[in-house]
């Protein structure tokens, strides 16, 4: 049994993520499992002590990509509901940057879907973090998202209908 994707809770936020609210949101009487992923700001990066992180996003596209992830895990796994919140702006060490909750009648698909969601988010959602240290700041090394193969010449010259 699967809810349509429009019953999922998918958010970009600039304040503290309310993890309990996300868990309550996905949890229903027919569920036997809720699996969560809590991504939090580490106190160091490559042996340098982190002061804080700044996250920025291509917000409209990021939200669209998060919706695609939710739709994909509904299609792939026998889950109930999905909640995904990613925080943007300045985050201090120990704060939650991303939280994912997946409910399902049984635990295995909930674990699988939650893992798939965070792995895909980190590879495909246009969000960037800059790490600040006592002696400077760097953009975090990221992942290059997979891109469709080059279009054929006929396609490129008449791609008006492409959405």
**What is the contact surface with another protein in residues (CB under 8 A)?**
39, 55-58, 60-62, 64, 86, 97-98, 118, 121-130, 139-151, 153, 156-157, 159-160, 162-163
**Shortest Å distance, C-beta 78 to another protein:** 25
Q: Give 79 or 91: the residue with its C-beta nearer to another protein.
A: 91
**Shortest Å distance, C-beta 29 to another protein:** 31
Residues 122-147 as b/e (b if ≥16 CB within 10 A, e otherwise) read: eeebebebebbeeeeeeeeeeeeeee
Taken in order 26, 27, 31, 35, is the CA torsion positive or negative?
positive
**Shortest Å distance, C-beta 85 to another protein:** 12
Name the nearest CA neighbour of 99 among 7, 24, 6: 24
Q: Give 2 or 96: the residue with its C-beta nearer to another protein.
A: 96
**Shortest Å distance, C-beta 105 to another protein:** 27
Strand partners, 101: 36, 83
Place of tokens 């909640």: 83
């Amino acid at each position: 049994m699967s809810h349509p994707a429009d019953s999922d809770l998918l958010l970009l936020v600039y304040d503290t993520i309310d993890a309990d609210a996300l868990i309550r949101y996905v949890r229903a009487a027919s569920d036997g499992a809720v699996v969560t992923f809590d991504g939090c700001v580490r106190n160091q990066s490559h042996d340098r002590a982190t002061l804080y992180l700044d996250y920025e996003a291509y917000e409209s596209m990021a939200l669209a990509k998060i919706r695609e992830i939710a739709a994909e895990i509904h299609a792939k796994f026998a889950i109930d509901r999905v909640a995904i919140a990613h925080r943007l702006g300045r985050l201090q060490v120990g704060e939650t940057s991303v939280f994912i909750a997946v409910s399902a009648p049984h635990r295995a698909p909930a674990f699988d879907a939650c893992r798939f969601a965070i792995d895909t988010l980190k590879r495909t959602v246009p969000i960037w973090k800059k790490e600040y240290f006592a002696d400077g700041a760097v953009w975090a090394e990221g992942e290059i998202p997979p891109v469709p193969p080059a279009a054929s010449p006929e396609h490129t010259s008449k791609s008006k209908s492409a959405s």
